[in-house]
Amino acid sequence: MKKFNIQAPNKAIEPLLIDKINNLTKPKGSLGTLEELALQIGLIQQTLSPALHHPQNIIFCSDHGIADEGVSVSPKEVTWQQTIHFTHGGGGVNFLTHQHGFSLKIVDAGVDYDLPYERGIINMKVRKGTRNFLHESAMTEDEMNLCIERGAEIVKLCETEGSNVLSFGEMGIGNTSPSSIWMHLFCKIPLAQCVGAGSGLSTQGVNRKLQILQKAVNNYNGDRSAIDIIRYFGGYEMVMAIGAMLQAAEDHVIILVDGFIMTACMLAVMQLYPSVKDYAIFGHCGDESGHKLLLDTMGAKPLLHLGLRLGEGTGAICAYPIVDSAVRMINEMESFKKASITKYF
């Protein structure tokens, strides 16, 4: 597996950042989460005047062998249909990227279809869908390593285009299943608390999904290391997102974390390099069963709770204006001294 040099941000600048934030023309702490975000971003960028440049949303797309077991109410072909639909500009993620000034990159990590790459889809296909982890490993070690490398490559591309803040999304019918298993195995939470309705399963469907996933976990006979669990149950789009998150953290790029699947990817990343969390801003708590519990277990504080469960990066993009406000606060508010105002706290 590709090695990354990921260190926690240097805390030497922290007292100066706190002093600057505390001496803006407001009562100490009165801007709450904006102050916390400004401190985090200042630490990531190692500056008292952080800036956000060229935000981009990257959607990694892939199919899953486990989808053949009927763990999703949506048919498998929706993966390739939606992947192409994003290129037309009419998807859920499209209006949000337009609204908030994001560029959009659509990456084929393993869609089971011959996609029209001439429409701007980036071809990083590893294979046409993972294998069915009910019966065997979803991917080989070589495929996993390729996903990590290609995810990192996409981030490097974004950096050459001037980006220092990235959100990651996904498209892959069935991908709540590997996410639930990662949550179960990494957090030691009963599987029943990790499995939800995905794109709309009935109660009966959720129960059947739980039975299938429990059987898959029971069939697993790997060494239970983090990397083996990632390989055995993961999706190509998910492992590619892991590689992207690792590269972003190494390069001190802000990571905007989306919903349940991307939170599960961040959980997996933290098993390998715990300091990656220092570079992550969790956009929202979605309505997929298990997401709030997962966030709580990770000690993550989401910015929004809007009842979203679409994926694609939509929740992370919705949260971006709050991040932007935090950066504007630390840069545009005057200090008490400059404004000739007596401190009133």
Alpha carbon of 280 to those of 90, 134, 275: distances in Å?
A: 28, 32, 10
Q: pLDDT at residue 149 above 80?
A: yes
Half-sphere exposure of 133 (CA within 13 A, CB side): 33
DSSP H helices in the chain:
14-22, 32-45, 78-88, 92-100, 141-160, 176-187, 203-219, 226-233, 236-250, 260-272, 291-298, 314-332, 336-339
Say if residue 199's pLDDT is above 80: no
| Phi, psi for 79 (deg, rounded to 5) | -60, -55
Joined together, the tokens standing for residue 220 give: 């697993």
Contact 141, 231 (CB under 8 A): yes
Which range has the worst mean pLDDT, 58-62, 150-154, 201-205? Answer: 201-205
The set of residues, in sequence order, having a beta carbon less than 8 Å from that of 71 and lying 6+ positions away, is 174, 176, 177, 198, 208, 209, 212, 213
Q: What is the predicted pLDDT for the residue at 278?
A: 98
| pLDDT for residue 244 | 98
Q: What is the pTM of this model?
A: 0.96
pLDDT of residue 63: 98
Average pLDDT over residues 228-239: 98
What is the structure's pLDDT at 198?
A: 80
Q: What is the pLDDT of residue 297?
A: 97
| pLDDT value of position 288 | 87
Within 8 A by CB and 6+ apart from 34, the residues are 322, 325, 326, 329
pLDDT of residue 289: 81
Tokens for 91, please give them. 């998807």
User: All domains of the chain, ordered by start, with CATH?
Assistant: 11-50+329-339 (1.10.1610.10), 57-324 (3.40.50.10210)
pLDDT in tens, 155-174: 999 999 999 999 999 999 99
Helix (H, G, I), strand (E, B) or coil at 333: coil
Count of alpha carbons within 13 Å of 294, Cβ hemisphere only? 36
For residues 77 and 115, the answer to whether their CB atoms sit within 8 Å is no
245 CB neighbour count, 10 Å cutoff: 32
- Per the structure block, which two tokens stand in for 223? 């060494």
**Active centre residues (catalytic):** 312
* 314-329: average pLDDT: 98
Q: Phi and psi for 80 in degrees, rounded to 5?
A: -70, -35
Q: Which pLDDT band holds residue 200 (cuts at 50, 70, 90)?
A: confident
The residue assigned the tokens 């990192």 is 152
Dihedral of CA atoms 97, 99, 101, 105 in degrees, nearest 10, equals: 10
Predicted confidence (pLDDT) at residue 94 exceeds the cutoff of 80:
yes
Pairing, β 122-123 against β 165-171: unpaired
Question: Each residue of 104-132: pLDDT tens digit?
Answer: 999 999 999 999 999 999 999 999 999 99
